[in-house]
Copies of this chain bind each other. A is one copy, B any other.
């Protein structure tokens, strides 16, 4: 079975996100009003082939913890659906 995993990788809440802060502080200079907070992370789409949803989840979690995420600075969440 083919699955698509949509993974969000975001800087941990406890950490400053300097890229997001900079973008947020400058929004009103270009006419965008009401912005209170901006956080910027990564979005990753994985297309994978697996025997079952449980197997697919296992591979996605391995991919996140072994290569995609830096656990010191980032947290991830994902949504898996059949492709």
Contact = CB atoms under 8 A, between A and B. Distances in A.
A3 to B, nearest CB: 9
A68 B6 CA distance: 20
B46 A37 contact: yes
A10 B46 contact: no
Contact of A43 (B10, B32, B37, B68): B10
B66 A23 contact: no
Interface in A38-83: 38-50, 55-56, 59, 62-63, 66-68
A55 to B, nearest CB: 8
Interface of A: 2, 6, 8-10, 20, 23, 26-27, 30-50, 55-56, 59, 62-63, 66-68
